[in-house]
């Protein structure tokens, strides 16, 4: 596919190369995007010493009150592993660790998760929703939004909150704040991971009630409960705080990865459409390649562009090297698409037809120019029962 970098009509940030087709993006007079400006704010304006004090008092306020000091949603990926390790090492908390399993966990991430919960010694809950329902949800949101991940977005954020209510754990810690890479929230506000954020940022504008109407028969609200945010009444009764660790300490992925590799033997993995030096990113999902391919079809950029933008902001990469990486890696047809098509029962031409209805102007996608990507080393080991 033709990359946005090749298209003069499409405006890109002069500093990080993100294009105007990115959600919530705006540019200032210097041609610099709002995400870059946020990043400057994070480096220059935040009193991290003060934020750390706020974190200390938050933890102490909740310590020892119930069965658990806090709840930590956990995938086995880099951010949740660091969050869990940091809170246990720094504060010796007793957490309840909760995994929402979207059905695409790869072997390496499963092994990472097992190792971490054993080494750190935590109570661990893992939940996977009904696969037959998930398949219907994927097809429905692919058609409507060009994004099949609704069950995952909503489940990851609502299911741990339901568990917090059930086990009466009022303090919930997420990892990286969204201000690192989008502009729904700024670093000037403590990002509360609540229902307002869920509706604004997570669920693609579709609630579980909406979804019930869309699916038309054979599915009830009981089936969609895992994807439903708990009632505000229950959450208020809990006096909950649901926050990002990255609102209180400066988030530095590269340093955090060194730490989790050293402390808990965390392993990287290869991911489709991403240069090997980013082997720490999104290793938890077998369908990540398909997700990024859809984004490329819709917006003309993929995950390499997103990762390069972070490194450009942090001064770790030259514009020239970033351009080269993006052109070499973004936009290839992922081998995992074969598996995905089997799951949702579509042909490739049906898939392309749906994707093309979601293209964001001024980007134009040319399917003829798409190259084929190589299968991942573990694709033969995936569980692919449709």
**1 pLDDT higher than 60:** no
Residue with tokens 């750190």: 120
Of the pLDDT bands very low, low, confident and very high (cuts 50, 70, 90), residue 40 is confident
Other Cβ atoms less than 10 A from the Cβ of 152: the count is 23
Rg of the chain (C-alpha set): 21
Span 241-253, average pLDDT: 93
CA atoms within 13 A on the CB side of 31: 9
pLDDT for the residue 359: 93
- 376 sits in the region (left: phi over 0; alpha: psi -120 to 50; else beta) called beta
Residues in the chain: 386
Average pLDDT over residues 221-238: 94
Contact 280, 212 (CB under 8 A): no
Q: Is the pLDDT of residue 258 over 80?
A: yes
2 pLDDT band, cuts 50/70/90, is low
Write the CB contacts of 381 (distance below 8 Å, at least 6 apart in sequence). Answer: 107
Q: Are 151 and 225 in contact (CB under 8 A)?
A: no
Q: pLDDT above 90 covers what percent of the chain?
A: 79
Range with the poorest average pLDDT among 85-99, 145-159, 198-212? 198-212
Q: What confidence score (pLDDT) does residue 186 get?
A: 66
Q: Answer whether 130's CB lies under 8 Å from 101's CB.
A: no
Distance CA 17, CA 116 (A): 36
Three-class secondary structure of residue 234 per DSSP: helix
Phi, psi torsion values for 104, nearest 5 degrees: -125, 20
What average pLDDT does the segment 82-101 reach?
98
pLDDT of residue 296: 94
Q: Kindly state the average pLDDT of the residues 34-46.
A: 85
Prediction pTM value:
0.91
CB 305 within 8 A of CB 31: no
Is the pLDDT at 182 greater than 80? The verdict is no
Residues 304, 274 contacting (CB under 8 angstroms):
yes
Task: Return the pLDDT at 108.
Answer: 97
Cβ–Cβ < 8 Å for 274, 92: no
Helix or strand or coil: residue 248? coil
pLDDT-based confidence at 176, cuts 50/70/90?
confident
pLDDT digits (tens, 9 = 90+) for 317-336: 999 999 999 999 999 999 99
d(CA 372, CA 360): 23
In the predicted model, what is the mean pLDDT of the chain?
93
For the packed helices 34-44 and 303-313, what is the interaxial angle rounded to 10 degrees? 40
Does residue 257 contact residue 78 with C-beta atoms inside 8 Å?
yes
Q: How confident is the model at residue 189 (pLDDT cuts 50, 70, 90)?
A: low
Q: What pLDDT does residue 381 have?
A: 96
Of 284 and 4, which is predicted with more confidence? 284
Phi, psi of 372 (to 5 degrees): -90, 135
How confident is the model over 334-357, as pLDDT tens digits? Answer: 999 999 999 999 999 999 999 999
Question: Which letter does DSSP use for residue 276 in this model?
Answer: G
pLDDT tens per residue across span 96-128 = 999 999 999 999 999 999 999 999 999 999 999
Other Cβ atoms less than 10 A from the Cβ of 33: the count is 27
User: 187 pLDDT band (50/70/90 cuts)?
Assistant: low
């Amino acid at each position: 596919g033709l990359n946005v970098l090749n298209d003069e009509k499409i405006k890109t940030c002069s500093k990080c190369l993100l294009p105007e087709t990115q959600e919530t993006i705006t540019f200032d007079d210097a041609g610099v995007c709002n995400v870059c400006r946020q990043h400057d704010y994070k480096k220059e304006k935040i009193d991290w010493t003060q934020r750390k004090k706020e974190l200390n008092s938050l933890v102490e306020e909740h310590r020892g009150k119930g069965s658990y000091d806090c709840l930590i949603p956990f995938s086995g990926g880099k951010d949740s592993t660091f969050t869990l390790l940091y809170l246990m090492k720094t504060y010796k908390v007793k957490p309840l660790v909760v995994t929402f399993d979207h059905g695409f966990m790869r072997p390496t991430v499963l092994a990472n998760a097992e190792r971490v919960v054993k080494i750190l010694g935590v109570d661990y809950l893992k939940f996977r929703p009904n696969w037959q329902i998930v398949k219907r949800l994927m097809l429905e949101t692919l058609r409507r939004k060009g994004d099949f991940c609704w069950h995952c977005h909503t489940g990851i954020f609502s299911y741990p909150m339901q568990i917090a209510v059930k086990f009466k754990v009022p303090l919930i810690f997420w990892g990286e704040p969204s201000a690192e890479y989008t502009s729904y929230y700024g670093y000037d506000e403590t990002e509360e991971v609540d229902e307002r954020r869920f509706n604004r940022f997570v669920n693609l504008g579709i609630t579980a009630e909406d979804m019930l109407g869309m699916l038309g028969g054979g599915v009830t609200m009981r089936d969609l409960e895992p994807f439903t945010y708990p009632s505000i009444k229950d959450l208020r009764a809990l006096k909950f705080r649901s926050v990002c660790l990255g609102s209180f300490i400066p988030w530095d992925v590269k340093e955090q990865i060194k730490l989790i590799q050293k402390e808990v033997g965390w392993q990287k993995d290869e991911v489709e459409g991403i240069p090997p030096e980013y082997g720490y990113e999104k290793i938890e999902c077998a369908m990540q390649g398909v997700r990024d391919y859809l984004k490329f079809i819709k917006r003309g950029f993929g995950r390499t562009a997103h990762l390069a933008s972070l490194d450009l902001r942090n001064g770790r990469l030259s514009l020239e090297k970033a351009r080269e990486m993006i052109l070499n890696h973004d936009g290839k047809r992922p081998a995992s698409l074969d598996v995905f098509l089997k799951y949702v029962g579509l042909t490739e031409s049906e898939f392309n037809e749906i994707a093309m209805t979601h293209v964001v102007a001024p980007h134009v996608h040319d399917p003829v120019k798409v190259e084929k990507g190589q299968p991942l080393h573990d694709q033969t080991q995936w569980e692919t029962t449709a």
